[in-house]
Each structure stands twice: as structure tokens, then as C-alpha cells.
Amino acid sequence: MVENRDIVLDVVWSGAGDPGQAVTDVIERGAQLLVPTGSSASVATKRRTSTIPIVFISVGNPIAMGLVETLAHPGGNATGFADILSDLSAKLVQLARDASKPDATIDYLWHSDWPDGKNRFQATEQAALAAAVHLRPRAIVDSAEIDGAIAAMKQNGATTVIVQPSPFTYGQRARIISAASDHGLATLFGFPIAARDGALIAYGPDYIHMNRRAPFYVAQILKGTKPSDLPVEQPAKVELLVNLKTAKTLGLEVPLALLIRADELIE
């Protein structure tokens, strides 16, 4: 929590236990501006206040989730930064197909217990259908299911797994990558950092830039600008990272075309 004169700013993020209770707690403490990070925290925040200004960070589809009316004209008391991960579903499917054997089935691990989970799964399903890729999904609810889900995927013949971008998979990425590696499975994530953690491929927005932009919106609102007058910003840059060490460990040969397109090769 940061205090600026008589203004109280509270930050709520999706990994903070029950985000709804966290929002209630900070509102009761007198918060006058709320900064939720992630879809779950942002939805919980919007549900609990229609008057306190909200600057959300890293939300996949703020329109579909009821946070804003449009990106250009948010309306209401919320604005912020979309991570466009839902819109990258088709690209993750394409990258998985490029990294796999021809006609290979692509497995999809997703978190069903969060507001945007089904939306992102459906977007990926539609992208796979359009690309004539066979997608084999497996939903999980909590971290206790990760190891069993990965083992079941391997038993069913999986070779490549797209991991749905979500607050849950971000927080559990090390465990997911480790379990997949133990079973010889290549993973694709929507977070650039995941490739540095051992995923084969990561493709996603520049979160550092997004978080650096957020204070500018906070400052504008503290000066009197309404959230409805600040358009929702989308990432200006999307990065593709390939981990060559992981490819070598898994005995995979990454196509040259994919290596050429990569923004960073981890060796």
C-alpha cells in the first residue's frame, strides 16, 4: 500500500489468496484507487466497487470479462492494460505445430477454475480447428493435479503441450515445466520468462513495459483524470523465445524457420 497525501492506493493481485476478500479488506481500509493484477483480481475488484477508480494490469480480454465497454472508451470506473494473451491463441497453436512432427496431436493444459479460463480454451480450440490441428485438452483445478495431468498426457501419447496463459500457470510454471521435462514433453507458454525457466518455447507480451506504464495511469487519475477517459492499452511488443538447451535435453530439432523468427535463443 502506498500513501500520497490523503490518497490511498492499494494493489491486489491474482495470487493473493481470495482476491475478493482482499479487495473487500482494502476498500474497508479506505482505498481510493485500486490496482488489480491479473484477471481474477481485476474481476473481483470490479464486482466490489463501481465508484473507486481501478487501473488493472495484465487482463486478457477486459471487454469479455465485463471490465470495460470498449478499449478506446472504457466507460465506468476501470481502465488499464490488456495482455492480449487470449488473442495469441492461434499463434501458440501455430508454434506448437511448427515444433512438432507433421500431423502430431497437440495437448493443451488449462486452468478451469478462473474467470477467463473457458474463454481462452475456446479461442485455442477454434484456432486449432482453423489450422486443422488435433487439440487434446486437459483441465485442472489446482496444483495437486499437475503431476497427474502431465503423466496422463504422456501416457496418451503427448509430445507437445500448450500451457494456457493464466495467473495459475504463471505461478506454477516451474512445477509444470519440471513435470513435463521428467516425462519428455515439450511445453509452450505465453510468458517470455517461461523459456528462461526451461519451457521449449515462450511467446507473449513484454510484461516489464506494461508494468512500467501503469504508474503513468495511476498518476493521471490521482491528478483528476477519469478512468473512462484513459483508453485500455495493449502491448506494443510480443516476444518469441526458444530454449535450445531444453530442445537438446528432449532430443528435439527446432526448425530453422522458427529459430530465425525468434527474438531470443537460450543456449
Angstrom distance (rounded) from CA 245 to CA 110? 25
Q: What is the pLDDT of residues 109-126, one digit of tens each?
A: 999 987 778 888 999 999
- CATH code: domain 86-204+239-266 is 3.40.50.2300
Q: Is the pLDDT of residue 5 over 70?
A: no
The closest of 149, 154, 191 to 173, measured between CA atoms, is 191
pTM, two decimals, is 0.82
Q: Over range 240-267, report the average pLDDT.
A: 95
- At 136, the pLDDT band (50, 70, 90 cuts) reads very high
Please name the residues in contact with 242: beta carbons below 8 A apart, sequence gap of 6 or more: 195, 200, 201, 254, 258, 259, 262, 264, 265, 266
Domain ranges of the chain: 2-84+206-236, 86-204+239-266
Which has the higher per-residue pLDDT, 190 or 64? 190
Q: Looking at domain 2-84+206-236, what is its CATH homologous superfamily?
A: Response regulator (3.40.50.2300)
